[in-house]
């Protein structure tokens, strides 16, 4: 009996395109130059605390896939497809509150889960997603905004996606979150 090759989890094509588009955008920004060539060995503390665009861009390059697939795993294996479908049958609006959003890996995984269900015709009704990304780092918020703008433009025909960014730590961000939820 031949052993089956392993199946690896991949980005949804729309999320992959958005992720790549943000890298292309970063490649054109002087303050981010060289972010892909940073050697993190022995520098993680400094990189993770970095408040400059190059450090945040490196985190996007190096850590986004890990955080994305962890969130996707939770959506698929903990929350589950049936529960997502049930939620979206009764409420066609989903609010994603991404505290410590970084560049938006968790939000992107949620968008992917909804896109996949829509593409498989498991959710026949229209779905609107409202995402709020909250992070104290202005460059993380900038990357979140870039990624969400790309996702928004690539999903126009499939889902309704709107988003807001709150540049603040938590719990200080509470007022900004409440204001965005009222809109």
Q: Is 103 exposed, middle or buried (0-12, 13-18, 19+ CB in 10 A)?
A: buried
Q: Would residue 91 count as lying in a domain?
A: yes
Q: Would residue 87 count as lying in a domain?
A: yes
Contact call for residues 164 and 132 (beta carbons, < 8 A): yes
Q: Would residue 53 count as lying in a domain?
A: yes
Q: Would residue 5 count as lying in a domain?
A: no
pLDDT of residue 89: 84
Residue whose tokens read 């997603």: 129
Q: Would residue 118 count as lying in a domain?
A: yes
State which residues of the chain have pLDDT below 50: none
Angle at 102 between CA 99 and CA 108, to 5 degrees: 85
pLDDT of residue 129: 94
**Residues in a beta bridge with 96:** 131
Total of domains in the chain: 1
pLDDT of residue 1: 62
Q: Which domain holds residue 32?
A: 13-182
pLDDT of residue 172: 80
Q: Would residue 55 count as lying in a domain?
A: yes
User: Closest by alpha carbon to 64, among 130, 109, 110?
Assistant: 109
Q: Would residue 2 count as lying in a domain?
A: no
For the whole prediction, is pTM greater than 0.85?
yes
């Amino acid at each position: 009996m031949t052993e089956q090759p392993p199946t690896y989890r991949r980005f949804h094509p729309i999320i992959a395109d958005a992720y790549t588009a943000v890298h292309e955008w970063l490649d054109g920004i002087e303050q981010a130059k060289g972010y892909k060539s940073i050697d993190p060995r022995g520098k993680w503390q400094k990189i993770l605390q970095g408040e400059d665009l190059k450090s945040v861009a490196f985190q996007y390059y190096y850590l986004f896939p890990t955080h994305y697939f962890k969130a996707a795993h939770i959506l698929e294996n903990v929350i589950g497809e049936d529960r997502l479908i049930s939620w979206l049958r009764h409420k066609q609006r989903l609010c994603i509150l991404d505290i410590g959003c970084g560049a938006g890996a968790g939000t992107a995984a949620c968008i992917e889960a909804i896109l996949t269900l829509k593409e498989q015709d498991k959710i026949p009704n229209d779905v609107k997603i409202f995402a709020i990304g909250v992070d104290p780092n202005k460059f993380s918020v900038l990357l979140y905004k870039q990624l969400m703008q790309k996702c928004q433009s690539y999903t126009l025909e499939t889902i309704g996606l709107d988003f807001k960014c709150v540049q603040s730590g938590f719990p200080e961000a509470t007022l900004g979150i409440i204001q965005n939820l009222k809109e």
